[in-house]
């Protein structure tokens, strides 16, 4: 039977656990790597024998270890244009008649896509707010930009057509300020810097983006950064986006040689810097458990209000997981006198 004749389609994924991988349930492990995944669907795949570790079927409770090769056949329903409003809590940072500022939690998908057509921020917006505007034929009411599933932070939502048009142009013309806070591997050499290089879909792995410095592929991208605090083996930095490419910060920082801490897709989930001492390795493993996603937070957003033209500034605190992670490294660097 052809795929077109089935009620479900399938995605195939294959991952190899890094050398720094602490034992972790395979369903939780896969949640960290598959965009738009739900735990129930991953567990269903395990029940159907569709999760293999080192070529052997495993239960969802199996604990992935360093070096394990994990593969899954993951089903998703055929694409539908129907948007299901869902009563999901969202954290509203600010609201007026024209805009809505949301502080998105890590782990929440912004809009429906392959593998997950519910449980997203857009499903929540459709429930809590009526008649949000839509761009063209996209079923993404109010949405003018997005954040990755495992990136937390500030998002602006347009509440009417006029606001959507004006704010969308601001993003296109770079007429706003977006600041992110990131914890990256290594001691970043310069206190400030600019990362340039076209970003496009990786030619080896279509799930991630790559930097093409010669400009032969992809779209131009510019990321400015500033060091906030140094911890020896990792550095806390601030990033300012001059462009808005998919995975821009993640791809640019990997290209710079300083991938985001615990960013599994871009090589940050292994012990990249430090000593060979067992205590250090145990410390880093505990840090991975403290913040189980890439250490990236969209901290602030500044732009002129679409109706009043008044300068609006929105700022958010680091979420608990990132705050605890930074404190762990701060204490470690002091105690070890790095």
Active-site positions read 148
Give the dihedral of Cα atoms 143, 302, 321, 244; nearest 10 deg: 60
Q: Quick one: how far is CA 15 from the chain centroid?
A: 18
Phi and psi for 231 in degrees, rounded to 5? -120, 20
Q: Cβ distance 312 to 167 under 8 Å?
A: no
Cβ atoms of 10 and 74 within 8 Å: the answer is yes
Place of tokens 């779209």: 219
CB atoms near residue 123 (< 10 Å): 20
- Rounded to 10°, the helix 278-290/320-336 angle is 160
Whole-angstrom Cα distance, residue 157 to residue 141?
Answer: 9
The owner of tokens 């913040």 is 291
- Token pair listed for 149: 């599933």
Residue 245: closest CA among 303, 207, 199:
199
Question: Going by DSSP bridges, is the β-strand pair 152-158/296-304 parallel, antiparallel, or unpaired?
Answer: parallel
Q: What angle do CA 125, 126, 127 make, to 5 degrees?
A: 90
Render 31-75 in DSSP notation, one character per residue: HTTSTT--HHHHHHHHHTT-EEETTEE--TTPEE-TT-EEEEEEE
Let me know: does 170 contact 176? Beta carbons within 8 Å.
Answer: yes
DSSP annotation of 96 reads -
Q: d(Cα 251, Cα 46) in Å, to the nearest integer?
A: 32
d(CA 262, CA 295): 7
């Amino acid at each position: 039977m052809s795929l077109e004749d089935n009620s479900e389609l399938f995605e195939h994924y294959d991952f190899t656990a890094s050398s720094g991988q602490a034992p972790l349930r395979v369903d939780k492990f896969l949640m960290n790597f598959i965009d738009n995944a739900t735990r129930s669907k991953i567990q269903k795949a395990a029940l159907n024998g569709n999760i293999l570790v080192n070529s052997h079927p495993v239960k969802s409770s199996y604990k992935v270890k360093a070096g394990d090769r994990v593969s899954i056949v993951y089903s998703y329903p055929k694409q539908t244009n129907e948007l299901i409003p869902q009563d999901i809590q969202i954290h509203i940072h600010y609201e007026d008649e024209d805009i809505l500022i949301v502080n998105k939690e890590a782990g929440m998908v912004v809009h429906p896509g392959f593998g997950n057509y519910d449980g997203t921020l857009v499903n929540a917006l459709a429930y809590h707010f009526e008649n949000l505007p839509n761009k063209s034929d996209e079923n993404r009411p109010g949405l003018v930009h997005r954040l990755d599933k495992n990136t937390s932070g500030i998002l602006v939502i347009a509440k009417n057509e006029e606001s959507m048009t004006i704010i969308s142009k601001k993003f296109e013309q770079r007429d706003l300020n977006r600041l992110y806070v990131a914890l990256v591997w290594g001691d970043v050499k310069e206190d400030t810097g600019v990362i340039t290089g076209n970003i496009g879909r990786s030619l080896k792995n279509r799930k991630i983006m790559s930097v093409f410095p010669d400009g032969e592929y992809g779209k131009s991208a510019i990321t400015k950064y500033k060091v906030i605090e140094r911890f020896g083996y990792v550095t806390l930095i601030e990033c300012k986006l001059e462009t808005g490419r998919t995975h821009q910060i993640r791809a640019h920082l990997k290209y710079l040689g300083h991938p985001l801490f615990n960013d599994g897709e871009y090589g940050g989930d292994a012990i990249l810097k430090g000593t060979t001492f067992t205590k250090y390795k145990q410390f880093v493993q505990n840090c991975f458990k403290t913040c189980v996603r890439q250490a990236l937070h969209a901290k602030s957003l500044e732009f002129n209000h679409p109706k009043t033209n008044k300068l609006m500034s929105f700022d958010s605190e680091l979420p608990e997981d990132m705050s605890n992670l930074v404190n762990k490294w701060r204490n470690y660097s002091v105690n070890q006198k790095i």
